[in-house]
A and B are shown apart, each in its own frame.
Chain A
Amino acid sequence: MVLVLALGDLHVPHRAADLPPKFKSMLVPGKIQHIICTGNLCIKEIHDYLKTICPDLHIVRGEFDEDARYPETKTLTIGQFKLGLCHGHQVIPWGDLDSLAMLQRQLDVDILVTGHTHQFTAYKHEGGVVINPGSATGAYSSINQDVNPSFVLMDIDGLRVVVYVYELIDGEVKVDKIDFKKASTSTSAP
């Protein structure tokens, strides 16, 4: 039962001051085992804040990140699932599902987490699942000015995943749930 927090596109301090207080009150240390961040934090203070929530932090580079050392893409294995992480501004057209599916096949992962569009999506195709956690601060994007703050929490338990989507709509936190599972993989070489 592993809890993985996925968030990104905070754009602090350029486009937003901080995470919404309702989100901050929920994100207490001790509950979450991993954080995967799609990028565009942009400053070190946010990096440190995320580190206090959970010491295992994975970040990829967004185009406005001030720390140039983050990688462009990252893959990690949590439980039985392979997760891929990429900001998404590299994939053109932005947010296009076919192109993201191509990236997913390239990275060879079950779940691909990308951002950049500041819009939550969860999409399934033959290669796996693509999840976009949206913007955790509700910062405006190049294509969209009216953004609801959102982030995603995944509960990975064996071969099953429950995705909890937290959105701030009209000042209230609304939680949605998506579940899917993976067919048990047969062992590779004899």
Chain B
Amino acid sequence: MVRKKVPEWLNSTMWSTPPSQPSSFNDDSTLLRHSPATKMSSMKKQEAESISVTPPPSTASSVQSPSPRPRNNGSSISGEYGNSSVAPSSAEDFSRQAHLSAELSKKVINMKELRSLASQSLPDSPGIRSTVWKLLLGYLPPERSLWSSELKQKRSQYKHYKDELLTSPSEITWRLVRSKGFDNYELKSGSRCMLSRSRITDEDHPLSLGKASVWNTYFQDIETIEQIDKDVKRTHPDIPFFSAESSFARSNQESMKNILLVFAKLNQGIRYVQGMNEILAPIFYVFRNDPDEDSSSHAEADAFFCFVELLSGFRDFYCQQLDNSVVGIRSAITRLSQLVRNHDEELWRHLEITTKVNPQFYAFRWITLLLTQEFSFFDCLHIWDALLSDPEGPLVRFAKSIDAQDPLLSLQESLLGICCAMLVLVRRRLIAGDFTSNMKLLQHYPTTNISHLLYVANKLRSKMLV
């Protein structure tokens, strides 16, 4: 029986996770945001010239070339994550950033180009991620000239949704009164009189049990509203953007609650499921922190549409009836299991057969929450860069079973690819461990170098097609 040999590069010590010192992420991101920006302006001119000569695949291949280069790259990159005092110094980062900025300022953006740039993970400098995500999710069209009209239309649509769905029944009643031109009685305004009554004929009073009653739907939604409220309050308690006592954090929470409630009301099929707040959080964070005033103030509307777009690729996972179907969560987990088996038979065998770690125990959370709970918030943003940019990857071109026209299905595939890479990266510890230690490891995935992870995921998928 021929055992599939694990390639040497996978087993190299470079991939094992070093215990990284807990860096304060706020410092990290601010530093990364500021230093490239300042160094950028001076280096941009030189880089821009060199970039026009070297097309993006070559920068990718320079990262992929064997032994000495990755080690250098790896140490410098791990330096930037683990040590908050070191600014990103690799030339590739600058060249990528220059290329990105150049790409984004074109009149018509080449989406393919953008995707391949973004799959290497975006720089943290302000504004870039927000614009790129909007483009990748199809919220902004590639033609720059259409941006302002698109944005205006979408934002007014969101406002319309909010007006229609989120006004309280009291408010609705008062609007009706005003529109009919009744003169509201004012308390203590002088005259004595019996207050006149108007008969309600359309069953719309607070105790109404009628289906068409605004009040009735309001009371039925109260449970959803409470659930959303509880979840939003619990989102990311360690990040001040979400959970500080400030009015800024409170307004952020309000916006997130509005988005989730509008979504729940528009999609009566899945309504609100716990965990959607975790998927909304990175999107809203990125858009709200956009230095562009216009984008930041309309972050709620933009985040709503991008959230809907992102979720549409995964919405079947949230519907309980579809759990056992081909599109449901169980089949996705089976596909992950199959993926692991194809790459690394030994690991798969040890995990599922010997130690009986059912992939449902860990992969469920990985998949339904798009890995937001497994990594720190800022690492998650980098993973999502790769995730959102993936549809043009090699998998789509060659795999016959996947509908190449459906980018959202390949979004699932790239997610599964990253999950597979996560398993492969800790294979040593998994193979050495038993049920308890493996479960512990997989449910509290150790801090990893994200670039390594994405690189491995990429490599695994390209290998699969060979």
Contact = CB atoms under 8 A, between A and B. Distances in A.
A153 interface: yes
Interface stretch (A59-67, A141-149, A173-181): A173-181
A110 interface: yes
Contacts of B185: 124, 178-181
A1 B186 contact: no
Interface stretch (A8-16, A25-33, A35-43, A88-96): A25-33
A69 interface: no
Given A30-B219, A124-B192, A153-B205, A176 B198 contact: yes
Nearest to A156: B170
Contacts of B184: 160, 179-181
B188 A180 contact: no
Interface in B156-206: 168-171, 173-174, 177, 182, 184-200, 205-206
Contacts of A128: 187-188
A162 B173 CA distance: 9
B195 A122 contact: yes
24 contacts: A1-B169, A26-B207, A110-B187, A122-B195, A122-B197, A124-B185, A125-B192, A126-B190, A127-B188, A129-B187, A153-B205, A155-B206, A157-B174, A162-B173, A162-B174, A175-B200, A176-B199, A177-B200, A178-B185, A179-B184, A180-B187, A181-B187, A182-B187, A183-B187
A123 interface: yes
Interface of A: 1, 3, 25-28, 30-31, 97, 110, 121-129, 153, 155, 157, 160, 162-166, 174-183
B188 A177 contact: no
B192 A153 contact: no
Nearest to A111: B187
A157 B168 contact: yes
A184 to B, nearest CB: 11
Most buried by B among A166, A174, A181: A181
Contacts of A166: 205, 207
Contacts of A121: 194
Given A1-B168, A122-B195, A155 B173 contact: yes
A123 B196 CA distance: 9
Minimum-distance CB pairs A-B, first 5: A180-B185, A157-B170, A176-B197, A26-B207, A122-B195
A125 B182 CA distance: 19
Contacts of B186: 180-183
Contacts of B192: 97, 123-126
Contacts of A126: 188, 190, 192
A160 B205 CA distance: 16
Interface string B384-423: 0000000000000000000000000000000000000000
Given A122-B194, A160-B184, 5 more contacts: A30-B222, A124-B192, A157-B168, A165-B197, A177-B205
Contacts of A163: 195
Contact of A1 (B170, B199, B205): B170
Given A1-B168, A164-B206, A183-B186, A178 B198 contact: yes
A153 B208 CA distance: 12
B209 interface: yes
Contacts of B193: 123-124
Contacts of A182: 186-188
B207 A177 contact: no
A117 B399 CA distance: 83
B188 A183 contact: yes
Contacts of A125: 192
Contacts of A165: 197
Nearest to B207: A26
Given A175-B205, A183-B187, A160 B195 contact: no
Given A124-B185, A157-B174, A26 B198 contact: no
Contacts of B205: 153, 164, 166, 175, 177
